[in-house]
Amino acid sequence: MTPKERFGCLMSGKLPDRVPVICNLFEQGAAELGMPLKEYYSRGEFVAEGQLKLAEKFGYDNLWAFHHTAIDAEMLGSRYTAYSEEGPPNVGDLVLHSESDIYKLKVTEDILDTKAHHEVAKTLKILKEEKGDSYPVLGAVVGSYSMPAILIGMERWMELLYFSSDKAARTLMEKCSEFCRIKTKALIDEGADMIVYMNPLASASFISVNKFRSDALEWIKRDSEGTGSNMVYFNGGGQINPMITPLLEETDFPFIYINPLDDAAEAKSLIDGKRNLVGTINDIKLISQNSEEIIDEVDRIVKAGKPGGGFAFGTLVMPMAIKEEKIKLMINRVKETGRY
């Protein structure tokens, strides 16, 4: 069974041959090509080649037509992205510096004509041509409740959201939602099989479930209107088990991708076969864990999610410091214990 067939089984409510594995390796592609990150991310064909090499080397079940979240800021005019050889690039030049800048920000389909988007689209096109028949190719967007932090900075966004002008906060989220919708539709039209929707500030690590229902859910529904059935709700680094019930009630995301700090067995019970669950390993711990500890952790997650199907095994954004043999051990263990 191909990786694409495995995910097809999950989407249709059938059992695959084994639990599929989503592995989030990004900057590691630059190492495969032996080039600095800035050069690697400068051309979509480099990223596509890196993704193909990584999937072949480790044997997981997805390909990523995604570069890094700073690209969203580049698409809206950020002039500088900060690169480090030890992790993902970050926004080096904020798009917005004051509340008045929010009202001047223009979000139109012109964002698709930027070099930043063209390179991602190039990655997607190559991956679809090379392996689109056998692998699901994933794109990614940032939710409008979280994206403002990329544009105006986390501290300033928290001030606007909780202590300052409601008008400014709503205006910025409206513009970010429009960006999210334009980008999502473009990625789907360009061939992405699923769009991973990242929304860390709408997680239980930042807000209560009541705040989620009263504030964040409105924007999640708006962002995903008409495209939710092609999207994965990704924790983005925060716990989301408390948000599962309202997500099931109010959205149509077919996959709920929990955080390592979320209880996988609890998530499986909450979802109760209504959607698919992605149980997630704490990949930061993989840096220091020994082989026995990695096997025990994989077994715990698979045991919680595997029964009855509707389950995939996933990682967060895997640090460069994780040794290759540990990644291979993790994936091979899922393949062994995840058989149906």
pLDDT tens digit string along 106-162?
999 999 999 999 999 999 999 999 999 999 999 999 999 999 999 999 999 999 998
Of the candidates 203, 268, 190, the one whose C-alpha atom is nearest the C-alpha of residue 233 is 203
DSSP 134-150: TS-EEEEEE-TTTTHHH
- What percent of the chain stands above pLDDT 70? 100
Question: Both tokens of residue 71?
Answer: 């690209």
- Predicted confidence at residue 107, as pLDDT, reads 98
Q: For residue 92, what are its two tokens?
A: 């080096």
Strand intervals (E) in 65-133: 81-84, 87-91
- Give residue 81's pLDDT: 97
- pLDDT classification of 265: cutoffs 50, 70, 90: very high
Q: With 80 as the cut, is the pLDDT of residue 165 above it?
A: no
How far apart, in whole angstroms, are the C-alpha atoms of residue 144 and residue 216? 9
Number of Cβ atoms within 10 Å of the Cβ of 86: 9
Residue 255 has pLDDT above 80, yes or no: yes
The DSSP letter of residue 339 is B
Q: What percent of the chain has pLDDT over 90?
A: 96
Q: Quick: pLDDT tens for 74-95.
A: 999 999 999 988 889 999 999 9
Q: In order of start, what are the domains of the chain with their CATH numbers?
A: 3-337 (3.20.20.210)
Which residue type sits at 195?
Answer: I
Cα–Cα distance measured from residue 16 to residue 189, given in angstroms and rounded to the nearest whole number: 27
- The mean predicted confidence, pLDDT, of the chain is 97
pLDDT of residue 164: 78
Contacts of 82 (CB under 8 A, 6+ apart): 70, 89, 90, 91, 92
Phi, psi of 257 (to 5 degrees): -105, 100
Q: In the β-sheet with 255-257, what is the strand arrangement from edge to edge?
A: 21-22, 311-314, 276-280, 255-257, 231-234, 194-198, 137-142, 63-64
153 strand-pairing partners: none
The stretch 223-234 carries a mean pLDDT of: 97
The SS3 of residue 117 is helix
Which of helix, strand or coil describes residue 64?
strand
| Rounded Cα distance, 192 and 188, in Å | 5
Question: Which pair of tokens denotes residue 111?
Answer: 């964002």
Q: Give, to the nearest 10 degrees, the angle between helix 166-189 and helix 217-224.
A: 30
Distance CA 280, CA 212 (A): 22
pLDDT number for residue 208: 96
Exposure b/e, 130-164, CB count within 10 A at least 16 = b: bbbeebbbbbbbbbbbbbbbbbbbeebbebbbeee
Task: Name residue 242's amino acid.
Answer: P
CA distance 128 to 208: 40
Tokens of 240: 């989301």
